[in-house]
Amino acid sequence: MPRRTATMLASTLMLIVLLCAGVFIPVPYAEMSPGPTVNTLGDHDGEPVLRIDGRKTYPTDGHLNMTTVRVTSADYRMNLVEAVYGWLAHDNKVVPHDTLYPDGKTEEQSTQENAEEFSQSQESAKVAALKELDVPVKSWVIVSTVVKDSPAEGKLHAGDVIRSVDGSVVREPADVAELVTEHKPGEDVDFTIVPAKEQAAAEKENRAPKRTEKITITTTASDDAGDERAVVGIAAGTDHTFPFTIDIELADVGGPSAGLMFALGIYDKLTPGSLTGGEFVAGTGTIDDAGKVGPIGGIEMKTVGARAKGAEYFLTPADNCAAAAADAPEGLTLIKVDTIRDALGALKDLDSGDTADLPTCTAS
């Protein structure tokens, strides 16, 4: 066989082997890409995203779109060809698999965690919006979760209201851990609670709870390596009672990053006029009960997805501004926000047409 022919044949065989390897050998990466964007002021799958009953609402126009990111599933194993294509594609991002699913987290665990974060973001969005409107919201500290096989299992239950720990009144979830860790492992700690069923009955009947219980739990040492703090095996959270009904209907979405846009949508529906002045505004950001806006992941994909749907302005958490501005889609103005009040101020400027002094994001 002539040398030239043999070389070409060997090269061809090598190329085939490399292509096969690229297709069949998995690599430890996952992919993020722009996901759907939904107008919080409008409908989704034929149903209003925000439904408010028991309070006067007002017509709105324009868009206040929440944005999402698509990610490959925990069980999906990307091959080398897909990874290279993702690295080259402008609108996608390939990241280490453990970035999205740390510590071997399963798809089911990730979905459950995202659902819980999404639910909490809705509650915080309601609280933040109503606080801006000076509408009173009743809040209290509750047992959010109980760790299996912990000292608290069987004694405290999710939904129990924590009134005090060792006689000290509990006002914030952080108070619970602070008071428990004043003990050494093996010492007793006293909880005064309103049982979850009693609290639910009181809310239903619009009355104060009639019964409290004192629960004594023996602490144990934290399972975290090198951590000798006393724990009882619960996570504390916050529950609220609202003076009217606010329902947020949006299936197949998880995580906390829509909080800001939900809060703005609620505020817009409860106030006369339009926040956006008819403009197409999208955005993202977590929000807490005080209205503080927090950073999110996948900002580059969210701006691309928003612009593709027609957004001209994007409300961007301050801590995401530099990353978003480094590769912002053409025609999309990134507005820097740190609180819901910042966002409301920017939207009022848009409505009035006074956009010269908008706090825009810049690349670092």
Token pair, residue 171, equals 């006002």
Q: Which whole-number Å values give the CA distances from 267 to 5, 37, 121, 151, 215, in the listed order?
A: 74, 19, 15, 43, 41
Predicted local confidence at residue 49, as pLDDT: 95
Please tell me the number of Cα atoms within 13 Å of 331 on its side-chain side.
Answer: 10
Nearest CA to 241 among 265, 209, 272, 212?
209
Of all helices (H) and strands (E), which one includes residue 280? strand 280-283
Predicted local confidence at residue 354, as pLDDT: 82
Report the DSSP beta bridge partners of residue 154. none
Q: Is residue 96 a contact partner of residue 29, using CB atoms and an 8 Å limit?
A: yes
Nearest CA to 121 among 242, 25, 255?
255
Nearest CA to 215 among 259, 155, 271, 159?
155
Of all helices (H) and strands (E), which one includes residue 198? helix 196-205
Point out the residues of the chain with pLDDT beneath 70. 1-30, 72-107, 109, 225-226, 364
Distance between CA atoms of 209 and 66, rounded to whole angstroms? 38
Query: What's the full length of the chain, in residues?
Result: 364
Which DSSP letter does residue 103 get? G
Predicted local confidence at residue 277, as pLDDT: 87
pLDDT digits (tens, 9 = 90+) for 101-157: 666 666 676 777 777 788 889 999 999 999 999 999 989 999 988 998 999 999 999
Predicted local confidence at residue 97, as pLDDT: 59
Stated pTM of the model: 0.79
pLDDT digits (tens, 9 = 90+) for 172-202: 999 999 999 999 999 999 999 999 999 989 8
80-88 and 3-24 are packed helices; what angle lies between their axes, rounded to 10 degrees? Answer: 80
Predicted local confidence at residue 113, as pLDDT: 75
